[in-house]
Amino acid sequence: MTRAFTFPGQGSQAVGMGKELAEAFAPAREVFEEVNDALGQNLTKLMWEGPEDELTLTENAQPALMAVSVAAMKTLEAEGGFALADKASFVAGHSLGEYSALAAAGAFTIADTARLLKLRGQAMQRAVPVGEGAMAAMLGLDFDVAKEVAEEAAQGEVCQAANDNAPGQVVISGAKAAVERAAEIAKTKGAKRAMLLPVSAPFHCALMQPAADEMKAALAEVAMQAPAVPLVANVTASRVADAETIRNLLVEQVTGMVRWRESVLYMVEQGVTQLVEVGVGKVLTGMAKRIAKEAETAAVGTPADVETFLKTL
């Protein structure tokens, strides 16, 4: 079996996330403590007790989701007695999950990843005043049609495909009025649903350029190693192993489209037969089943998941 570990993005967060892992496994506790120390913030208290609206803030949700993903991965390695590179051909992550993937693969330290994601969340929030941007999910439209809808709706404003998640599931992002126009146009093009998403900023579009500039400066200051296994990058949907190339792609990723559907297809074309989602929830597992029905899937985010998955190795 050829395996890839994948790491979820924003939207999967929930109060209580990671608590069972921390209670059951010392390696998970160590990851959470390292993240708290790096941020000078009791992030785990927020993760486990809420309030939910504070956890959902981008600057908290991003490092929190990474912490659970890396805690789960470190637990798998410790309990299973293996290193990630022994069991995977690739890592990949959805948007902020790309940072989780890189931390899990040793490209960044956990502390540096936590600080980068805190800044990334703050920079994305700063880039566009609240209420001026929006994102909408186009359900039931193929990517090419959704892209045409975004282009037609733009009318001189920013409106572009942000996430190509799975067949019939494309998210667009941009100026609020343009995204609202796109949602209406989508219905005339055969979309089953076109709905605005409850997000605080228009991620993965040109309006995020100020955040990309901030991340470029921050990433330039951070030490980086080649990952233990190649990353399948969001913006290229292909493998990359060189640290400096990855650094540049992480900057592009802020304004660029998350090519998740193509990334999964690429991994399967390269011989991957099992996609293992590591962290909170099963969003990527659901997408994988729609993109590549022939691939096996697994999700590891709780102590029970850890035990179940290790029995399959």
For residues 202 and 70, give the distance between their C-alpha atoms in angstroms, rounded to a whole number: 26
Catalytic one of 95, 100, 173, 200: 95
The two tokens of residue 299 are 């999700």
Is residue 13 classed as helix, strand or coil in its secondary structure? Answer: coil
Position 90, amino acid: F
Is-contact 78 111, C-beta < 8 A? no
Position 245, amino acid: T
Q: Is 204 a catalytic residue?
A: yes
Distance of CA 278 to the CA centre of its chain: 11
Q: Is 200 a catalytic residue?
A: no
Distance of CA 47 to the CA centre of its chain: 18
Q: Within a 10 A sphere around the Cβ of 52, how many other Cβ atoms?
A: 10
Q: Which of 271, 273, 286, 279 is nearest to 301 (CA)?
A: 279
Q: Within a 10 A sphere around the Cβ of 190, how many other Cβ atoms?
A: 10
Peptide bond into 303 cis (omega under 30): no
Q: Within a 10 A sphere around the Cβ of 83, how many other Cβ atoms?
A: 12
Q: Within a 10 A sphere around the Cβ of 144, how many other Cβ atoms?
A: 10
Contacts of 207 by beta carbon, 8 Å cutoff, 6+ apart: 127, 128, 133, 158, 173, 174, 175
Q: Which of 111, 186, 102 is nearest to 150 (CA)?
A: 186
The two tokens of residue 71 are 């805690």
Residues recognised as catalytic: 95, 204
